[in-house]
Amino acid sequence: GQQLNQSPQSMFIQEGEDVSMNCTSSSIFNTWLWYKQDPGEGPVLLIALYKAGELTSNGRLTAQFGITRKDSFLNISASIPSDVGIYFCAGLQETSGSRLTFGEGTQLTVNP
């Protein structure tokens, strides 16, 4: 299946710092979704993006749908300890129907 390249694989930051992670693909996606997964839980939807160029915020989180439709980034501002977890991008392609493709995930560690 189609791959989503997510980077970085892991990040270790100090509380209060800003964080940025991104996903890229060689193919076009129609929808980008960003999820966070805590240990022992399923992924929880953070932000959904539907149009190229779209910039959407959810509290301290901001995500953008790249204008080429082949990438997306997620920013977290002023990180706090509860931001710790694994962040996944996921995308929908026109050719894949309702089947999501997931990135490999970014493990975020926030040191107090």
Where along the sequence are the contacts to other proteins (CB under 8 A)?
Answer: 1, 33, 35, 40-45, 47-48, 50, 88, 90, 98-100, 102-105
Backbone angles phi, psi at 83, to 5 degrees: -75, -10
CB nearer to other proteins: give 99 or 111.
Answer: 99
Start-to-end CA distance of the chain, whole Å, equals 39
Closest separation between CB of residue 18 and other proteins, Å? 23
Taking the C-alpha atoms of residue 31 and residue 51, their distance in angstroms, rounded to an integer, is: 7
CB nearer to other proteins: give 8 or 16.
Answer: 8
Dihedral sign computed on CA atoms, order 37, 43, 47, 51: positive
CB nearer to other proteins: give 56 or 77.
Answer: 56
